[in-house]
Amino acid sequence: MSEGDDQDLGITESKSHNTGEWYAEVVRKAGLADYGPEGMSGFIVTRPRAYAIWERLQGFLDAKFKQTGVQNAYFPLFIPESYLEREKEIVEGFDPEVAWVTEAGTKELEERLAVRPTSESIITPYISQWVRSHRDLPLRVNQWCSVVRWEATETKPFFRTKEFLWQEGHTAHAKSEDAWEETMTRLDQYESVYEDFLALPVLKGQKPDHDTFPGADTTTTVEALMPDGKSVQAGTSHHLGQSFAEAFDITFSDEDEEERVAHTTSWGLSWRALGALIMTHSDEQGLVLPPTVAPTQVVIVPIWQEDTKDDVLDYAEGIADDLEAAGVRVELDDRDERNPGFKFNEHELNGVPLRIEIGPYEVDDAELTLNHRPDGEERVVDRENAADTIRDHLDEVYAKLYAAAEETLDGEVREADDRAEILGTLGQHGGYVTSPWCGDEACEEPIKEPMAAEIVMVPFEDDDPLVGSDGDETCAICGDDAERTAYFAKSY
Amino acid sequence: MSEGDDQDLGITESKSHNTGEWYAEVVRKAGLADYGPEGMSGFIVTRPRAYAIWERLQGFLDAKFKQTGVQNAYFPLFIPESYLEREKEIVEGFDPEVAWVTEAGTKELEERLAVRPTSESIITPYISQWVRSHRDLPLRVNQWCSVVRWEATETKPFFRTKEFLWQEGHTAHAKSEDAWEETMTRLDQYESVYEDFLALPVLKGQKPDHDTFPGADTTTTVEALMPDGKSVQAGTSHHLGQSFAEAFDITFSDEDEEERVAHTTSWGLSWRALGALIMTHSDEQGLVLPPTVAPTQVVIVPIWQEDTKDDVLDYAEGIADDLEAAGVRVELDDRDERNPGFKFNEHELNGVPLRIEIGPYEVDDAELTLNHRPDGEERVVDRENAADTIRDHLDEVYAKLYAAAEETLDGEVREADDRAEILGTLGQHGGYVTSPWCGDEACEEPIKEPMAAEIVMVPFEDDDPLVGSDGDETCAICGDDAERTAYFAKSY
């Protein structure tokens, strides 16, 4: 909120050479987040510009959830240790790093309470109570909240923080195929958030069996490519099968009064989506945002001398009014104490997608000069029908961002047919390397061990040309029959 | 979500005789909240029907906030103990019952972290960093979140819980009068939530000086009367003066480059608003909701025999489509397995404001039979222009609820001129007792001690006829000059 000095407006780090430092600088200088207080490393303060983006993302996704039968609810922040222990017993491999409440008021608690690292261990027992009959199914609850995971890694706002915002959906169904349809509905909605709202193309598929969420039958994922060549798991949707339902006794009487065990799913998307958004589109002038999520979509910068001031401002105000009436989020930057150059830099830093410059020439010619944030393209357009024209340009800005990200992604998927080629390609380029794979976890190890790259995704059966190839292809690592394609990548 | 049996639909407790038990029964049977797990008394699970109301309330209030310059942000869930200690030093009387995180992962923390009981001690230091110049003011941030206060009292969903949902706004201003205007803007918005959205008239004023929020100059309040005769503090807005700004160093350079200390405010409204809503309007058939917040505003119940089924359902579907197209939240309850009587009871329990009954007669006469939830009033109206008619009836339902609450409130404000009369009136009727008051805390004690009633509100100067009465009136307790009116009441 502080305007700061001119030099605060410049990004000094290089996106391509020091991606991490550049990202941290954009986050700080564009007023997206501050680090938490001393003694609380790993926590961030989400400032209004970033929170407003999160709210828009919430609005987009939440509307989709509601259109497809999801109801929001709110469950307690704390989970008794015995509940988490119960989950651990059920779910091999579940052992989150938890923050424990041990004292309250002036007393020590009899049982430690976990600050929720995820809520299925508290939500599932309630679902069990609420489901009695097939008429209660499907049952779908979602909550928007923060969760805490005490992972001791370097803080990276929106990517790695000890507390993060997310939504977690939990559903119960009568049949496995219903749960599968649910799993895919949510994954498709996550894909849509990225592709239709954040201008980020993603890859869609499933995690290899050895890397599913503990307890899940199948974990599906959307993966986004970051500019440092790493993949980020950008949203996950789990078909949990009957493991949770059996353990937590989610049963129902079916049409014939038979008692049956339900099939459940869970699915979540976190503020990593914000991180992926910021990191992908932004540049060395600062934040770049698609108009869909930008708190301010259009800024009007009037340029005047003393003798032209009144005319220019009148004209600019008229345009601002027209745009506002048309539902465009517009700001007229008529500050006296800043010159146009400062304003240009500031709004570029803050990621305003479209700038309108208005000087005496524009007034005389009944025109507007537009500037697209992503690439600086300038266009002179008629004042008439300004709102329609601006909307077209906002769409164009969105399309440019999407096309650029798509081109990058397309160029960063490479094929490799043996271990040396996989390692060489990942080492040289990063990105994704696709290889025929036998399906065995052991064949991930020779890549994972030296390179810290893993199989981040396997396309769904219908999308994988190797399915049904019947021995025509062999695993890039072991040489056995390969009927699936593995996407190797380094990941966040 | 479970439909349960017929008997689950009945409320057995009496609203007037056992208000507390009746309230708990409505909350449970109407599917608003469940109690937390064993070992977590004081926590509740907010079920979708209640959470949907909270979301609508958020939407209403948040839009008002945003129209008046407020930006949302998100601050960490935890607050280092040293930050809370600092606040305690500044603010005499601030000593919340806190839940402490002492261990995380497998380690003991060096410093205990409080789960936020309120966030000013962590928000204010950031505001201090963000404010440098008068151009950064006013600065307004708000967060919607949950907070935890470990108060050992009986759980009452939405009124008394250890974790509750709320919003807390924090602002900084250049001048005291700006902060005062801010304080009143938020209080007026709280009044509007109650009066224009929840159909609840409130009293508006300030807390007596001895009962302001610790550290505040002035605490303003809206108070709502509950059916058990107690007052609930339904929203507060504090003019904090310069105490927090001095302690946390919120300073700015003014137009003349002079360093000045800011003036701050804070204001909050919690899900108590939900409690007040449920308790005020509901009855012995269950939940009653104004159409503004009802997840389902209109339910259509078709009533058919085998030979009329197709006609009735066709007709009902046409009406549902019309209403939906007009933006009415409508549900067509065409379940085969439930009879109309069951459906009537269920939708009454769940607080649907308006029921439309459609049988063969309605089809033949091109009519609808309407039933208003609050009072069961029945009306037969034309099918033509159904959407307009329904909207009028929804407005009428709102007006009925407001009028009933207003009539109750008006009847529950009584005057008394001496201690015996105050005690007698409060003991007999509950509600509010107004008395001339000298302003001295000592004169609250003779009421508070025997009756557990206190001065919940003093009208603002402009609204108080005793201001400027210059010795014409004397304090009901001590007999000194009284220039203010005190509202005594028992309170939540």
DSSP letter at A211? G
**Gap between the Cα atoms of A385 and A323, Å rounded:** 10
Average pLDDT over residues B44-49: 98
Packing angle, helices B272-281 and B386-411, rounded to 10: 90
Nearest CA distance, B310 vs chain A (angstrom): 23
Q: Domain ranges for chain B, please list them.
A: 6-80+116-281, 298-393, 413-490
Average pLDDT over residues B87-114: 85
Q: For residue B51, what is the nearest residue in chain A, using CA coordinates?
A: A73
HSE toward the beta carbon, residue A137, CA cutoff 13 A = 26
Nearest CA distance, B143 vs chain A (angstrom): 10
Per residue in B365-404, pLDDT (tens digit) is 999 999 999 999 999 999 999 999 999 999 999 999 999 9
**Gap between the Cα atoms of A470 and A488, Å rounded:** 22
Query: Does the distance separating the beta carbons of B165 and A74 come in below 8 Å?
Result: yes
Per residue in B126-182, pLDDT (tens digit) is 999 999 999 999 999 999 999 999 987 788 999 999 999 999 999 999 999 999 999
User: Which parts of chain A register pLDDT below 70?
Assistant: 1-7, 91-95
CA distances from B50 to A22, B271, B274 (A): 44, 10, 8
Radius of gyration for chain B, computed over Cα atoms and rounded to the nearest angstrom = 26
Please determine, looking at this structure, whether the domain spanning B298-393 carries the CATH number 3.20.20.70. Answer: no
- DSSP letters, A85-112, are HHHHHHSTT-----EEEEEETTEEEEEE
Average pLDDT over residues B122-128: 96
Query: Does the distance separating the beta carbons of A101 and B112 come in below 8 Å?
Result: no
- Chain A environment of B337 (Cβ under 8 Å): 135
Distance between terminal CA atoms of chain B?
A: 30
DSSP H helix total and E strand total for chain B: 13, 23
> A413-490 — its CATH code?
3.30.110.30
Query: Does the distance separating the beta carbons of A36 and B135 come in below 8 Å?
Result: no
Three-state secondary-structure class, residue B24: helix
Three-state secondary-structure class, residue B415: strand
- Whether residue A77 contacts residue A123, with contact meaning beta carbons closer than 8 Å, is answered with no
Neighbours of A60 (CB within 10 A): 17
Nearest CA distance, B294 vs chain A (angstrom): 14
Query: Does the distance separating the beta carbons of A36 and B113 come in below 8 Å?
Result: no
- Whether residue B57 contacts residue B297, with contact meaning beta carbons closer than 8 Å, is answered with no
Q: For residue A142, what is the nearest residue in chain B, using CA coordinates?
A: B48
CA distances from B383 to A123, B283, B358 (A): 44, 30, 11
**To which H or E segment does residue A79 belong?**
strand A78-80
Q: For residue A31, what is the nearest residue in chain B, using CA coordinates?
A: B130
Query: Does the distance separating the beta carbons of B97 and A39 come in below 8 Å?
Result: no
Phi, then psi, of A11 in degrees rounded to 5: -95, 130
Nearest CA distance, A45 vs chain B (angstrom): 5
CA distances from A58 to A43, A51, A270, B22, B51 (A): 21, 10, 10, 36, 16
Sheet holding A99-104, edge to edge: A78-80, A107-115, A99-104, B99-104, B107-115, B78-80
**Gap between the Cα atoms of A141 and A139, Å rounded:** 7
Residue B152: the pLDDT is: 73
**Gap between the Cα atoms of B277 and B50, Å rounded:** 11
Residue among A5, A8, A35, A45 with most chain B CBs within 10 A, to mutate: A45
Query: Does the distance separating the beta carbons of B72 and A52 come in below 8 Å?
Result: yes
- Judge whether residue B76 has pLDDT over 50: yes
- In the numeric block, which tokens belong to residue A273? 């989506």
Query: Does the distance separating the beta carbons of A40 and B76 come in below 8 Å?
Result: yes
**Gap between the Cα atoms of B293 and B277, Å rounded:** 10
Query: Does the distance separating the beta carbons of B73 and A51 come in below 8 Å?
Result: yes
Query: Does the distance separating the beta carbons of B111 and A39 come in below 8 Å?
Result: yes
Three-state secondary-structure class, residue A209: helix
User: Mean pLDDT score of chain B, rounded to an integer?
Assistant: 95
**Gap between the Cα atoms of B484 and B475, Å rounded:** 9
Average pLDDT over residues B73-88: 91
Query: Does the distance separating the beta carbons of A163 and B77 come in below 8 Å?
Result: yes
**Gap between the Cα atoms of A114 and B101, Å rounded:** 9
Instruction: Quickly name the fold that domain A298-395 has.
Output: Rossmann fold (3.40.50)
CATH architecture, domain defined by B6-80+116-281: 2-Layer Sandwich (3.30)
- Chain B environment of A165 (Cβ under 8 Å): 74
Query: Does the distance separating the beta carbons of A83 and B45 come in below 8 Å?
Result: no
Q: For residue A3, what is the nearest residue in chain B, using CA coordinates?
A: B136
Per residue in B242-281, pLDDT (tens digit) is 999 998 999 999 999 999 999 999 999 999 999 999 999 9
Residue B1: the pLDDT is: 37
- Chain B environment of A40 (Cβ under 8 Å): 76, 78, 80, 113
Per residue in A163-212, pLDDT (tens digit) is 999 999 999 999 999 999 999 999 999 999 999 999 999 999 999 999 99
Domains B6-80+116-281 and B298-393 fall in the same CATH topology:
no
Query: Does the distance separating the beta carbons of B55 and A71 come in below 8 Å?
Result: no
Neighbours of A383 (CB within 10 A): 17
The ipTM of this complex is 0.95
- Chain B environment of A131 (Cβ under 8 Å): 1-2
Q: Residue A19 is which amino acid?
A: T
Top-tier CATH class for A6-281: alpha beta
Smallest Cβ–Cβ distance between A126 and the set B34, B55, B77 belongs to B34
